Every structure is written in C-alpha cells, then in structure tokens.
C-alpha cells in the first residue's frame, strides 16, 4: 500500500518553513524519509521507529504518530539547498520492501 504524501508540490522563499505529510491506511511500523535532488539519486534523511519520536537532520526534523498512521517532515528556515523531491517510505509488516509515496516537490527560491 503506497503511502500518501501532501502537498504534491510547494514553493518557498528562503527562510520560510514547510511541512510535508505522509500518511498510510495501514499500520506503520516505521517511516523513512529521503530527498532526491534533480538529476540525482535519492539520499537518506532519517528513519522514525517509535511512535511520537522526533529526529533531526540539519534544520529538518520529523515526527511519527503511530496511532494516526502518519508522519510529518518539518523544514525550518529553508535554504536553497533544500530544493528537491521528498519521499516517505514505509515497510509493510513482515516485509523487507520499502514502499515510497509519490513524493513532494519542494522548490526554494531566493
């Protein structure tokens, strides 16, 4: 089951904040976040393993709510380098495969 990401795209000015959401209709055991810059490979950002746990990467943090079956990625004081497509991935129970959402395209402009 593919997780659903929202919004599909967002445009920010440098210094602004953004939130990207990832939700699933099935129980989530963990949520993985990746960023893919244009023309490049996806790069790992973080894994969230426990309900309510927040992790951080630079000025990017995330939360994971098991009960609501959703995760949110918070980008604070965005920089031009944050531009790219953000994917959340979720593994199904007993499975080793990561199913990714369709991605959220983030564009940061000066």
Partner 1 sequence: DSGVTQTPKHLITATGQRVTLRCSPRSGDLSVYWYQQSLDQGLQFLIQYYNGEERAKGNILERFSAQQFPDLHSELNLSSLELGDSALYFCASSPDGGGHTGELFFGEGSRLTVL
3-state class (DSSP) for residue 75? strand
Closer to partner 1 by CB, 26 or 102: give it.
102
Q: With 0-12 CB in 10 A as exposed, 13-18 as middle and 19+ as buried, what is 46?
A: buried
Where does this chain touch partner 1 (CB under 8 A) — which range of 18-26, 38-46, 62-70, 75-83? 38-46
Quick check: 95 binds partner 1 (CB under 8 A)?
A: yes
Q: Does 30 bind partner 1 (CB under 8 A)?
A: yes
In whole angstroms, the minimum distance from the beta carbon of 92 to partner 1 comes to 10
Q: What is the DSSP letter of 90?
A: E
* 44 scored as a contact of partner 1 (CB under 8 A): yes
Locate the DSSP E strands across the chain. 4-6, 9-13, 18-23, 31-36, 42-48, 55-57, 60-65, 70-75, 84-91, 98-100, 104-109
- For residue 101, state whether it binds partner 1 (rule: CB under 8 A): yes
Binding footprint of partner 1 on the chain (CB under 8 A)? 2, 29-30, 32, 34, 40-44, 47, 49, 87, 89, 91, 95-103
């Amino acid at each position: 089951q593919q997780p659903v990401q929202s919004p599909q795209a967002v445009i920010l000015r440098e210094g602004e904040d953004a939130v990207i959401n990832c939700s699933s209709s099935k129980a989530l055991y963990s949520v993985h976040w990746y960023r893919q810059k244009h023309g490049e490979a996806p790069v790992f950002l973080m894994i969230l393993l426990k309900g309510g746990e927040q992790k951080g990467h630079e000025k990017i943090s995330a939360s994971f709510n098991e009960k609501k079956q959703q995760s949110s990625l918070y980008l604070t004081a965005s920089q031009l380098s944050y531009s790219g497509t953000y994917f959340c991935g979720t593994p199904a129970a007993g499975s080793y495969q990561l199913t990714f959402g369709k991605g959220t395209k983030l564009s940061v402009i000066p």
